[in-house]
A and B are shown apart, each in its own frame.
Chain A
């Protein structure tokens, strides 16, 4: 296909995280943590003191880094920067909204599911018939 862009494939891509302390701690135990030459980590711990600006910056940084393949973000954190998360539509890095300790996962807020849910709405069916 001529118009199809080439995906950046990689052999050792990273998983970035924006989540609460316990979730980040757990995934660091699973070996996800990475610190690069500039002492930059591939995670951001969000607590009550973390500003929305800091979350936005981390999200932008992780989604533009070439060595990141998946960005895990707690859904309640994603809700704070919903406009950014919903506006993101690249295949890599893939954004995954995960549950967090104090906030249960709500499929209605998931950016991927809300992107595809209009296929089930009565309006889209009606417009298809017209």
Chain B
């Protein structure tokens, strides 16, 4: 009789521990979902203000250069490849598809520079932050601090920062050349704003992917319980 009671209490303890672990796992998923949703909304906010700046610069450039010099009729329709592309990889997730996007700017630049751009574009420690939910403060420097400024500081150990900078300028000039050789500095500012916006778009796509993956996991768990 005593032995039966002990066995029952052991099995009850085991079940309680399992339930506790499952609850913890569930809370972790919900937290990750809420965290990614918060980041998504926060990034949309930052994207809105960056795009607004870009449109303003573009309008200023159009004002100083004239509407005939900045319009869609001048777009290059000859065969050419995009200079900003994406690398798509799949994150290890057993349950749902979770693509991960990395921006790759100007593939013609040397590999080292490309790696630097990729790290810059994906927010550096995205993987680290996305897998460990933590408190985030809306409107804090979290996203904006990263995208602050032109961010053209080349790797110090590279030894050829000037060359890299020149190449970046050359690539930028190539895109600007559609609108003429001598363009308004405002157009260059607009280009920087839209480059920044593009980096945010990629981060936004990653947050979207994390959010949908967390959402799918929560739904799956919900179905298991019901």
Q: Which residues of A contact B (CB under 8 A)?
A: 1, 4-15, 21-37, 39, 41-42, 45, 69-70, 72, 91-92, 94, 96, 98-99, 101, 104-105, 107, 112-113, 115-116, 119, 128
User: In the bound complex, do residue B88 and residue A35 qualify as a contact, i.e. CB atoms below 8 Å apart?
Assistant: no
User: In the bound complex, do residue B55 and residue A70 qualify as a contact, i.e. CB atoms below 8 Å apart?
Assistant: no
Chain A hits for B194, CB < 8 A = 26-27, 29-30
Q: Which residues of B contact A (CB under 8 A)?
A: 33, 37, 40-41, 44, 47-48, 51, 54-55, 58-59, 70-72, 75-90, 94-99, 101, 104-107, 171, 175-176, 178, 187, 190-191, 193-195, 197-198, 201-202, 204-205, 208-209, 211-212, 215, 218, 222, 225-226
Closest to A43 in B: B75
Chain A hits for B205, CB < 8 A = 69-70, 94, 96
Known: A9-B89, A26-B193, A26-B197. A128 touches B41 (CB 8 A): no
User: In the bound complex, do residue A42 and residue B201 qualify as a contact, i.e. CB atoms below 8 Å apart?
Assistant: no
Contacts A4-B96, A99-B47 supplied; 11 other A-B pairs, CB < 8 Å: A9-B88, A9-B90, A12-B86, A25-B70, A29-B194, A32-B198, A37-B79, A41-B77, A92-B99, A99-B44, A128-B226
User: In the bound complex, do residue B171 and residue A31 qualify as a contact, i.e. CB atoms below 8 Å apart?
Assistant: yes
User: In the bound complex, do residue A26 and residue B101 qualify as a contact, i.e. CB atoms below 8 Å apart?
Assistant: no
A-B contacts, CB under 8 A, total? 175
CB distance from B86 to the nearest CB of A (A): 4
Bound complex: CA A53 to CA B83 (Å):
30
User: In the bound complex, do residue A39 and residue B89 qualify as a contact, i.e. CB atoms below 8 Å apart?
Assistant: no
User: In the bound complex, do residue A8 and residue B88 qualify as a contact, i.e. CB atoms below 8 Å apart?
Assistant: yes
User: In the bound complex, do residue A42 and residue B198 qualify as a contact, i.e. CB atoms below 8 Å apart?
Assistant: no
User: In the bound complex, do residue A21 and residue B99 qualify as a contact, i.e. CB atoms below 8 Å apart?
Assistant: no
User: In the bound complex, do residue B47 and residue A91 qualify as a contact, i.e. CB atoms below 8 Å apart?
Assistant: no
Bound complex: CA A30 to CA B97 (Å):
29
Known: A91-B97, A94-B101. A29 touches B175 (CB 8 A): yes
User: In the bound complex, do residue A10 and residue B86 qualify as a contact, i.e. CB atoms below 8 Å apart?
Assistant: yes
Bound complex: CA A69 to CA B193 (Å):
22
User: In the bound complex, do residue A21 and residue B71 qualify as a contact, i.e. CB atoms below 8 Å apart?
Assistant: yes
Chain B hits for A22, CB < 8 A = 55, 58-59
Chain A hits for B176, CB < 8 A = 29
User: In the bound complex, do residue B75 and residue A26 qualify as a contact, i.e. CB atoms below 8 Å apart?
Assistant: no
CB distance from B54 to the nearest CB of A (A): 5
Q: List 24 A-B contacts (CB under 8 A).
A: A4-B96, A7-B90, A11-B87, A12-B87, A13-B86, A15-B85, A21-B71, A22-B55, A23-B51, A26-B55, A26-B194, A29-B176, A29-B191, A33-B76, A34-B80, A39-B79, A69-B205, A70-B205, A99-B48, A107-B41, A112-B40, A112-B211, A113-B40, A119-B218
Chain B hits for A96, CB < 8 A = 201, 204-205, 208
